[in-house]
C-alpha cells in the first residue's frame, strides 16, 4: 500500500511504493536489487529540506536517517568518515567534540549530509567553497548491486561528479571529509540603509572571511553579517536574551506576522518600517558552526540562483526593482552571498567566481508568478539554479551553463546507465 511522503516546506509530496530506512550498506544494496527486480525506481532522500521535486518517487524511497554516525577519525590528517544520513547539525556537534570543523557552512543545518552535498549546498566567502568541496572520499551503491569507492586514489575520475550528484549516480552510503581545526568566529551584524550595506559588503568581501547581507523588501534597509576567524575564547552570551531574539522574535513572532500579513497584505509596508530600524548588534564570538547556522522554523519556499560575480549587483538591482513594483508583499528578506570558483561539474560555482541571490516567500503565499519572474531575471545573467530549490530549467538550458556538463553525463552513463535512480525531476534537468 503506497504511503505519503512530504518535504519540510510542505510544497512537494509523493506516494512511494515503500519507504525504507536501512541501517547498513548491505541493506541498501539489497533494496536497490529489489527495486531493479521489481522494475521500480529507487530514490535516496535526506531530511526533506529541498524545495524542488528532486526527491520524489512512486517507487522505493530510501531514507538514510539511520546511517548517521562518524565511523572513522584520522586525527593526524583531520579527516572523518561519516554515514551519509547524518544531519549537518549533528555532524557539527560531533566534529566540535574532537576539535574538528568544516571549513564553511550554509546558514541552515537541518539537512542531511548526503542531501546537502547532492544539491550543492553552500555558504559564503569569496575565498571559500561549498560543503561539497570538503569531500575527499565517497561510497556509492550503484544500480548493479555493487558499492563503488571513490577518492583521489580510487576511481578518481568520478570524484568531481560525485561531489554534487543530485542523487543521480546511486545512493551515497558514506562520505569522507577533509576538516580543519575547530575555530571561532567573531560576528558583527548591523542594519543600515541599503546603499551603505552594499558599499560595506563590497569592501568586506575582499577583507573579511565570510560576509553576506539581507535586504528587507518594502524598506530602504538591509542587514549585513561580517564574520572573521579569531583565536579568542567565546564571549559570554545571555541565553535568555538569545532565546528571545532567535526563537520568540525571529521564529514564533515572525510566523504570527506572516499569518497576519496573509489576511492584511496592505499592512506589510507599515509594519516592516516600524519593526526594522537602523542598529548595531553587540559583537560576539562563538564556535564557527554556531555562528554560521541559525534555526529557521517558519516554513517558506525558496528560489536561489548563482550568477557570475561581476553580474551580482546588476542582477540584484533588477530583483529589487521587480519586488518594489509588486502588488503583493514579500515578507522574507532577499539574501546575497558570494563564493570562490570550484571544479565540481554541477556546482553552482563551477569554474567561476559566483554571486548568489536567494528569494523566499511564506509557504502559504501565492508564489507561482513571483518565482517565474525572478527566474526570468536570473536567466539574463547566465544564472544557475540551486538544485534543491525551486526552478523550472531543463537540460537544454542547463547544459549551456556548465562547462563540465558532459563530464557529469558520462559519469552518470557509467554508474547508472539504465536509470534506476531517476525520477521526473532528473529527466527534466539531465535530459533522460
Q: Is residue 431 part of a domain?
A: no
How many domains is the chain partitioned into structurally?
3
Distance, CA of 203 to CA of 215 (rounded, Å): 17
Outline where 208-300 has alpha helix (H): 239-243, 254-263, 268-275, 288-292
Q: Is residue 58 part of a domain?
A: yes
Does 74 share its domain with 45?
A: no
With H, G, I as helix, E, B as strand and everything else as coil, classify residue 313. helix
Strand partners, 73: 80
Question: Measuring CA to CA, how many Å separate 207 from each of 105, 186, 203, 226, 342?
Answer: 19, 14, 7, 10, 20
Does 266 share its domain with 344?
A: yes
Query: What is the CATH number for 55?
Result: 3.30.43.10
Question: Measuring CA to CA, how many Å separate 101 from each of 212, 287, 406?
Answer: 21, 9, 33
CB 231 within 8 A of CB 280: no
Region of 23 please: left (phi>0), alpha (psi -120 to 50) or beta. alpha
Q: Is residue 125 part of a domain?
A: yes
Query: Which set of grid coordinates corresponds to residue 8?
Result: 519540510
Query: What is the CATH number for 131?
Result: 3.30.465.10
Q: Which of 181, 204, 236 is at the close of a domain?
A: 181
Closest CA to 62 of 176, 8, 164, 141: 141
Distance, CA of 61 to CA of 63 (rounded, Å): 6
Q: What is the pLDDT of residue 249?
A: 43
Region of 144 please: left (phi>0), alpha (psi -120 to 50) or beta. alpha
Q: Which of 111, 146, 181 is at the close of a domain?
A: 181
Query: What is the CATH number for 231?
Result: 3.40.462.10
Q: How many CB atoms lie within 10 A of CB 223?
A: 19
Does 198 share its domain with 340?
A: yes
C-alpha of 75 from chain center: 28
Does 334 share its domain with 365?
A: yes
SS3 content of the chain, % helix, strand, coil (to 5): 35, 25, 40
Q: How many CB atoms lie within 10 A of CB 199?
A: 12
CB 388 within 8 A of CB 119: yes
Does 191 share its domain with 174?
A: no
Pairing assessment for the beta strands 184-193 and 279-280 based on DSSP bridges: antiparallel
DSSP secondary structure string, 40-83?
A: --EEEE-SS--SSSTT--SSEEEE-TT--SEEEEETTTTEEEEE
Q: Is residue 422 part of a domain?
A: no
Closest CA to 106 of 349, 337, 315: 337
DSSP secondary structure string, 135-168?
A: EEEEEEE-TTS-EEEEESSSSGGGHHHHHS-TT-
Q: Is residue 360 part of a domain?
A: yes
Does 162 share its domain with 286?
A: no
Pairing assessment for the beta strands 221-230 and 334-339 based on DSSP bridges: unpaired
Distance, CA of 210 to CA of 383 (rounded, Å): 22
Pairing assessment for the beta strands 5-6 and 13-14 based on DSSP bridges: antiparallel
By the 10 Å C-beta count (0-12 exposed, 13-18 middle, 19+ buried), 345 is classed as buried
Q: What is the pLDDT of residue 243?
A: 35
Does 107 share its domain with 32?
A: no
Q: Is residue 419 part of a domain?
A: no
Angle 316-53-21 from CA coordinates, rounded to 5°: 130
* Residues of the chain predicted below pLDDT 70: 1-2, 232-256, 258, 260-264, 297, 367
Does 47 share its domain with 74?
A: no
With H, G, I as helix, E, B as strand and everything else as coil, classify residue 69. coil
Q: Is residue 321 part of a domain?
A: yes
Does 166 share its domain with 240?
A: no
Domain that holds residue 56: 5-63
Does 45 share its domain with 160?
A: no
With H, G, I as helix, E, B as strand and everything else as coil, classify residue 378. helix
C-alpha of 393 from chain center: 18
Q: Is residue 430 part of a domain?
A: no
Pairing assessment for the beta strands 60-63 and 42-45 based on DSSP bridges: parallel
Does 33 share its domain with 173?
A: no
Provide the whole-model pTM: 0.93
Does 89 share its domain with 208?
A: no
Q: Which of 44, 63, 82 is at the close of a domain?
A: 63
Amino acid at each position: 500500500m503506497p504511503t505519503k511522503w512530504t518535504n519540510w516546506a510542505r510544497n512537494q509530496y509523493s506516494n512511494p511504493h515503500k519507504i525504507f530506512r536501512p541501517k547498513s550498506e548491505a541493506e541498501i544494496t539489497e533494496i536497490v536489487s529489489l527495486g531493479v527486480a521489481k522494475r521500480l525506481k529507487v530514490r535516496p532522500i535526506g531530511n526533506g529540506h529541498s524545495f524542488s521535486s528532486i526527491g520524489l518517487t512512486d517507487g522505493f524511497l530510501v531514507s538514510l536517517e539511520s546511517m548517521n554516525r562518524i565511523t572513522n577519525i584520522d586525527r593526524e590528517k583531520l579527516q572523518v568518515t561519516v554515514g551519509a544520513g547524518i544531519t549537518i547539525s549533528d555532524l557539527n556537534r560531533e566534529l566540535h567534540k574532537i576539535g574538528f570543523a568544516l571549513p564553511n557552512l550554509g546558514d541552515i543545518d537541518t539537512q542531511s549530509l548526503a542531501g546537502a552535498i547532492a544539491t550543492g549546498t553552500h555558504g559564503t566567502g569569496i575565498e571559500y567553497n561549498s560543503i561539497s568541496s570538503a569531500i575527499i572520499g565517497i561510497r556509492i551503491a550503484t544500480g548493479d548491486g555493487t558499492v563503488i569507492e571513490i577518492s583521489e586514489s580510487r576511481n578518481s575520475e568520478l570524484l568531481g561528479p560525485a561531489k554534487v550528484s543530485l542523487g543521480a549516480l546511486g545512493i551515497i552510503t558514506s562520505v569522507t571529509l577533509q576538516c580543519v581545526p575547530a575555530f571561532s568566529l567573531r560576528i558583527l551584524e548591523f542594519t543600515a540603509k541599503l546603499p551603505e550595506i552594499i558599499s560595506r559588503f563590497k569592501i568586506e568581501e575582499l577583507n573579511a572571511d565570510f560576509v553576506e547581507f539581507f535586504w528587507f523588501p518594502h524598506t530602504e534597509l538591509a542587514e549585513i553579517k561580517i564574520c572573521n576567524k579569531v583565536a579568542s575564547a567565546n564571549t559570554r552570551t545571555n541565553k535568555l536574551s538569545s532565546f528571545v531574539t532567535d526563537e520568540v522574535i525571529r521564529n514564533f513572532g515572525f510566523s504570527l506576522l506572516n499569518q497576519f500579513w496573509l489576511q492584511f497584505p496592505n499592512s506589510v509596508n507599515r509594519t516592516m518600517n516600524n519593526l526594522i530600524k537602523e542598529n548595531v548588534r553587540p559583537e560576539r564570538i562563538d564556535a564557527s558552526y554556531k555562528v554560521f547556522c541559525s534555526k529557521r522554523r517558519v516554513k517558506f519556499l525558496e528560489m536561489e540562483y548563482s550568477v557570475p560575480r561581476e553580474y551580482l549587483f546588476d542582477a540584484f538591482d533588477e530583483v529589487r526593482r521587480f519586488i518594489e513594483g509588486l502588488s503583493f508583499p514579500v515578507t522574507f528578506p532577499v539574501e546575497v552571498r558570494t563564493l570562490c570558483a570550484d571544479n565540481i561539474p554541477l556546482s553552482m560555482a563551477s569554474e567561476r567566481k559566483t554571486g548568489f541571490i536567494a528569494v523566499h516567500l511564506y509557504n502559504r503565499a501565492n508564489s507561482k508568478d513571483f518565482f517565474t519572474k525572478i527566474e526570468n531575471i536570473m536567466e539574463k545573467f547566465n544564472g544557475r539554479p540551486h538544485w534543491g530549490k525551486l526552478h523550472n530549467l531543463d537540460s537544454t538550458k542547463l547544459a549551456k551553463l556548465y562547462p563540465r556538463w558532459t563530464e557529469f553525463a558520462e559519469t552518470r552513463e557509467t554508474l547508472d546507465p539504465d536509470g534506476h535512480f531517476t525520477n521526473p525531476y532528473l529527466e527534466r534537468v539531465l535530459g533522460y
